[in-house]
Amino acid sequence: MIRSATRSDVPTILGFIHALAEYEKAPDEVKASEADLELHLFGPEPAAHALIAEDDAGTPVGFAVWYTTFSTWLAKPGIHLEDLFVSPAARGGGHGKALLVRLAQIAVERGYGRVEWNVLDWNEPSIKFYLALGAEPQHEWDKYRLTGEPLQRLGTA
C-alpha cells in the first residue's frame, strides 16, 4: 500500500533518510532533523511531499520524497523525486515500483509533463530497476550544486 505521509510519519521518514544515507555511503552527511522535516513537509508552505510504502501488516517499509518542478520547454510542471528508499528486507516485494507508479499517477492526474530523479552512477541495482520501468538516462546534462559557504557568499553579495 502507498499512502501520503502525515506529520506522525516524520520520525519514520528521518529513519529512512538515515538508512538511505548509509546505503549511499554518506551517513555523516545527513543534517536533517524531525523539526526541519515537519516544517518543510507539513508546515504552512510545504517545500516537498512524501509517500510511505507499507507492507501487508501496515508497517512502513519505504518512502519517496518529491517536489514540483517546472519545464519551460514543456510549459508544464513536473515531479522531481528527491529520495526513494525501500528497507533491504522488503526489497523485491514491489514497494519501489508501487512508489514510482503512484508518482506517475500523480503526474498524469495533474497534467504534469515528467517525473525525473538522479541516481548514483555506481548503484547498478537501481539503474537496472529504472531502465526496466522505461526510464531513460539523461547523459547530456551535468548536475551542479551550490551549498555551504559558496551559497552564503553568493546569497549575501
Residue among 23, 67, 130, 144 flagged as catalytic: 130
Q: What is the rounded CA–CA span in Å between residue 118 and residue 24?
A: 13
- Burial of residue 67 (CB within 10 Å: 0-12, 13-18, 19+) is middle
Q: What is the rounded CA–CA span in Å between residue 6 and residue 126?
A: 27
67 is catalytic: no
Catalytic residue numbers read 130
